[in-house]
Amino acid sequence: MSVKKLDKKALNSWVESLVAGQKVFGVQAKGERFAFAELTDASALRLDYDVTMLPPKKYFLPQREDLLTFKRSGGHESVIECDPFVLLGVHPYDFVAIRQMDAIFEKDNDDIHYKARRNAATIVVCDVQNASENVFAGCMNGAVVEDGYDVLITGIGKDYLLDAGTEKGEALLHGVGAPDARAEDMAERSKVWEANKAALKKHELKCAPADLPKLLGSSEEHPVWAEKAEGCFSCGSCNLVCPTCYCFDVQDEIDWNMDSGRRYRCWDGCMLTNFATVTGNHNFRPKVEDRYRHRYYRKGKYIPEKIGEISCVGCGRCITACVAKIANPVEIYNRLLEGK
């Protein structure tokens, strides 16, 4: 696969050509912060962003997604929506999270709704140019990705390297009239990667991520869970902004005709009060403390047991989003390392 070197102007032309030819979602400014949104104007793309408010999971597991339509007078029909699209500017930590979601939604029972969206996507990863205030991807193997992407953009000085990692990526770069990267350019890229691994550590985890399952295995009764939970609003913000949270609720909606309707799934969160409440009102996880602990165990123990990777990529969104400022995973894990 080839690596092309583009200057700023050539990069803009390339983005313009993408926007003109297909549906593109890219990072743009939203107020003082950033969000992925449909890109119609190439100049609105902000590859210099620090972090988006919501992760790009919203394109694979939409906030609300119809699973099927039905008629009460008979029958259900799957809804699979999946126009091809390009996702432009995904940071490495978010890409690591997407690959984890791929594993989750494929494991045991393949989820064709997720898979259809995933197959429809061409993902352009972009190395981080500006670290966000709470990022710690450097501690979580999330600062850089070296494979799996369709295209990887890395800013080196005034230029950009565009690396096609798949055939889809090659197709996206097809016709880009730019020179191939030279060995010294590739060396520059390695420097960016090394720099990012060091820089994306606004919080420093005092153990290897691989040590977390064992650490959590002996920390169920640690006082930190109750202490932190005291400040928790059960608002689920940490769930919603998390690139690896994927829990969902399923509901039915009927149309005015009282016949047709749809069954949809929508984002849910294990921190919300009634997440584990069954019909008849018994809540199997009624205490905030237990919900709070559960979330960290999912990230650091339960999901790793399922897919073999720590399910926190160090984006730091939860730290920023938590109004009570109790959701810093690094702080929690370091505290557990200290013992009591």
Q: Return the residues of window 84-143 that contact another protein according to CB under 8 A.
A: 84, 104-105, 107-116, 119-120
Segment interacting with another protein (CB under 8 A) among 8-16, 18-26, 154-162, 275-283: 275-283
Q: To the nearest whole angstrom, how small is the minimum distance from the Cβ of residue 81 to another protein?
A: 8
Please select the residue that binds another protein; options are 249, 289, 307, 337, rule is CB under 8 A.
249
Contact 244, 311 (CB under 8 A): yes
Tell me the C-alpha distance between 304 and 309, whole Å: 5
Q: Which is nearer to another protein, 203 or 295 (CB)?
A: 295
DSSP 24: E
d(CA 151, CA 111): 25
CB of 288 to another protein, least distance (A): 8
| Interaction of residue 270 with another protein, rule CB under 8 A | yes
Token pair belonging to 218: 């002996």
Q: Pattern of binders to another protein over 20-59, x per CB under 8 A?
A: ----------xxxx-x----------------xxx-----
Nearer to another protein, 18 or 121 (CB): 121
Q: Which two tokens stand for residue 280?
A: 């008849």
Give dist(CA 330, CA 340) in Å, integer.
16
**Phi, psi for 196 (deg, rounded to 5):** -70, -40
As measured in angstroms, the least distance from the Cβ of 46 to another protein is: 14
**Who's near 67: CB < 8 A, 6+ residues apart?**
78, 79, 113, 250, 262, 263, 264, 265
Taking contact as CB under 8 A, which single stretch among the options 40-48, 60-68, 149-157, 331-339 is the one that binds another protein? 60-68
Residue closer to another protein, measured from CB, 188 or 268:
268
Closer to another protein at the Cβ: 305 or 338? 305
Phi-psi region of 280 (alpha: psi -120 to 50; beta: other; left: phi over 0): left
**Which residue in the set 16, 324, 334, 337 belongs to the binding site for another protein (CB under 8 A)?**
324
158, 284, 339, 340: which one binds another protein (CB under 8 A): 284
Output 155 or 236, the one with its CB closest to another protein. Answer: 236
Token readout for 159 is 């230029």
| Residues 231 and 326: beta-carbon distance below 8 Å | yes
Residues 6+ apart with CB under 8 A from 108: none
Identity of the residue, 175 or 279, whose beta carbon is nearer to another protein in the bound complex: 279
Residue in 163, 185, 188, 268 binding another protein, rule: CB under 8 A:
268
Cα(31)–Cα(29) distance, integer angstroms: 6
Residue among 70 and 193 whose Cβ is closer to another protein:
70
The rounded distance, in Å, linking the Cα atoms of 99 and 24 is 20
Residue 258 binding another protein, by CB under 8 A: yes
The residue type of 139 is C
According to CB under 8 A, which residues from 287 to 316 bind another protein? 288, 290, 294, 297-298, 301-302, 305-306
